[in-house]
Amino acid sequence: MSKPPLPVDLLQQAGFERVGCWELTDERKLGHKVDLPASAGVYAFATDGAVQYVGVSAKSLRQRFSFYVKPGITQTTSIRLNEMIRGRIDEGAVVEILTAHPPDFAWNGLKVSGPEGLEAGLIRDFDLPWNKRGSPKVGQVGASQTRTKTTEGVLNVVCSRPGVTELEIAKAMYGPNAVKQQVNAECRRLVKAGLVDRLGRGGQTDPFTYRLKKKARPGSSSG
């Protein structure tokens, strides 16, 4: 019997919080700007509204995420997830990070780990592609559709509001709680593809702004 996908909305209703997104540095290395606690917790990575991976840290989320950023040569799971996340960002996908901190509880006088129990239950009940060793590689089912949707969204905002910043584009597409990391990879890709012009110095007080090139039209895509 096949398992259903896990929507991000369902996790949020249960108490998970959207805390940020993975991003690539100028050196194309994986990173994030999330202030993670040095405590136990469950985390999820999601793209296009669906959870792709669920994990748990019994001690420190901050330390666990540092392994994804810079995995050791023997940390095969961290290496695999690092490559998966970087590949999806390169394709234009937004990889969101969600976290939760369920408390421990007792069962017949015995202590039960809340975080580890929650992770096990989610993996048991839902289809989580990146939790599988044989998960689809970057570029397979769903990747092109996700990038096309993001591409059209960015082009539509830039076309209707010339001179918008990455943060303004993100808020127009994803709502008032959006962050610029949700669109900056796609903005860079569209600039490189010659569909969008980027202006400004990109400083904190002078962010980059974007304008549609005359030859570009909403709904067009470089592939």
pLDDT tens per residue across span 55-73: 999 999 999 999 999 998 8
Provide the pLDDT confidence category of residue 114 given band limits of 50, 70 and 90: very high
Q: Is the pLDDT of residue 217 over 70?
A: no
Mean pLDDT of the chain: 85
Residue-range domain boundaries for the chain: 8-131, 143-212
Tokens of 49: 């509204």
CB of 99 closer than 8 Å to CB of 16? yes
Do 8-131 and 143-212 have matching folds?
Answer: no
Q: In 3-state terms, the chain is what percent helix, strand and coil (to 5)?
A: 40, 20, 40
Q: Per CATH, the architecture of 143-212 is what?
A: Orthogonal Bundle (1.10)
Provide the pLDDT confidence category of residue 140 given band limits of 50, 70 and 90: very low
- pLDDT for 151 equals 82
Amino acid present at 32: H
Asked whether 181 and 33 are in contact (CB, 8 A), the reply is yes
Domain 8-131 -> CATH class: alpha beta
Please determine, for residue 133, whether its predicted confidence score (pLDDT) is greater than 80.
Answer: no
